[in-house]
Chain A
Amino acid sequence: MITRRKLLMLLPAAAFAWKYVLAGTPEISPNYNRSEHWWGMLLDIDKCIGCGNCVRGCATENKVPDGYFRTWVERYHVSDWHQETPQVDSPNGGKDGFPPSTAVDGKNFFVPKMCNHCVDSPCTQVCPVGATFDSPDGVVLVDSSYCVGCRYCIQACPYGCRFLHPTTHTAEKCSLCYHRITKGLTTACCENCPTGARQLANLKNPADPIHEFLKTHSVQVLKPYLATGAKAYYHDLDGSVR
């Protein structure tokens, strides 16, 4: 017969055991060592033709709902002396390409945008539940099963890279195709980019061509004054880009 005393003594032990019963066994990707990777992306403005292949590829790969974007392309028009007030358009995120420009003068170019996978990401810092996190291999990810949909991270991201998924009501963002890069593939946007304007980079790999590129080209990150540690490196980025 179980006494009250025995029951009370058993409860903590039972609680401890139950914790292990509830948790599943984690699946680990074979042949992928997180400590050997530190992911970033190289975006070459001089190679972007605004075809929208990256936006479509991303939407297909990651089932991004219509009207929302994990990556998008902006078209800039900077007239000669209006460096600080560029005209920017991005019809449907550039998913259907761009109509002919009305501009005939000034500077015109495309800028692909995406999550910068910041080292000191503001979005991760504000998440109250630990649903958004920096992975050990340098990718900012969202655990949608843990997200409570408070939208705090959406407001915190200075690059506007996040949105609330209209059906799951959880925060969504570029995962740098974590399901692809851990399998040895490149991201969907890089796979689809016809000109090589986007290139995935493993900064921990000394043989990665990014190192040579960073050494020999002028490279910039977006909003460097925010000290977010952005790892989306832009080549040929114009000063008017925000």
Chain B
Amino acid sequence: MRVSKFKDAEHLVRLAVVCAIVLVVFLLVRAHFIPKSFGEYGHYRGNALAELSSKPISYAGHQACEDCHADVLEVKKTGKHAGVNCEACHGPLAKHAEDPGSVVPQLPDTAVLCARCHEANIAKPKWFPQVVSKEHSGGEVCKSCHVPHSPLQQPGDKKS
């Protein structure tokens, strides 16, 4: 029995159409799921860089503090704490730097704060000034004898 050539060709066309549809659906799904910026710089979403760098900050940075508190900087820069940044003791204050009126920083408790760094520990480097606070001050707050911004000065000294 002879099979018509025309019918064979029609089968092939149908198969091709089905393949084309599958291909188009695949391309559509792929286009939908791959973000536009993927591959912009490498095998990752390029927009992620901008998103990561646009996150908000908590610590304003010492430059922001020094812009307004130049008087404190004057005291600090002559003393042993010249290299200690403001927020290392005063905590994260980006909100205060943004709007100084609405967010007022709390004064840290020097009895706790100073001991964090200066409590004696054998693992601390030998050059670092350390005290056993019980023997050194007997629970007295450090700022009764030391100016925190320049610890070798005593309260009441000039420029303190």
Contacts and interface: CB of A to CB of B under 8 A. Distances in A.
Nearest to B42: A133
A23 interface: yes
B59 A135 contact: no
Most buried by A among B54, B121, B128: B121
Q: Which 5 A-B pairs rank lowest in CB-CB distance, beginning with the nearest?
A: A23-B36, A133-B44, A143-B48, A179-B55, A182-B53
Contacts of B45: 130, 143, 145-146
Interface size grouping (class) on chain B: 35 or more
A185 B57 contact: yes
A180 B46 contact: no
A131 B45 CA distance: 8
A27 B58 contact: no
Interface string A12-54: 1001101110111011110010100000000000111111110
Interface string B33-51: 0111110011111111111
A178 B123 contact: no
Contact of B122 (A23, A61, A108, A132): A108
Nearest to B49: A135
Most buried by A among B24, B44, B54, B88: B44
B13 interface: no
Interface stretch (B69-77, B79-87, B100-108): B79-87
Contact of B92 (A29, A46, A61, A97): A61
B21 to A, nearest CB: 8
A98 B123 contact: yes
Interface of A: 8, 11-12, 15-16, 18-20, 22-24, 26-29, 32, 34, 46-53, 57, 60-61, 75-77, 97-98, 100-101, 103-104, 108-110, 130-136, 141, 143, 145-146, 175, 178-180, 182-183, 185-186, 188, 191-196
Contacts of B85: 191-192, 194
A194 B42 contact: no
18 contacts: A11-B24, A24-B47, A26-B37, A26-B50, A51-B116, A60-B91, A97-B116, A98-B121, A109-B125, A130-B45, A131-B44, A133-B43, A136-B41, A136-B42, A185-B57, A191-B85, A193-B88, A196-B83
Nearest to B41: A136
A186 B31 contact: no
B24 A134 contact: no
Nearest to A11: B24
A104 B58 contact: no
Interface of B: 20-21, 24, 27-28, 31-32, 34-38, 41-59, 61-62, 81, 83-85, 87-89, 91-92, 116-117, 119-125, 127-128
Nearest to B53: A182
B150 to A, nearest CB: 14
Contacts of A61: 57-59, 92
Contacts of A178: 49, 52-53, 55
Given A182-B53, A194-B88, 16 more contacts: A15-B27, A15-B28, A15-B32, A20-B36, A50-B123, A61-B92, A101-B123, A108-B122, A130-B45, A132-B44, A136-B49, A179-B53, A179-B56, A183-B53, A185-B59, A194-B83
A141 B48 contact: yes
B44 A47 contact: no
A195 B124 CA distance: 12
Nearest to B44: A133
B123 A186 contact: no
Contacts of B59: 57, 60-61, 180, 185, 188, 191-192
B18 to A, nearest CB: 12
Contacts of B20: 8
Given A18-B31, A49-B124, A182-B53, A12 B24 contact: yes
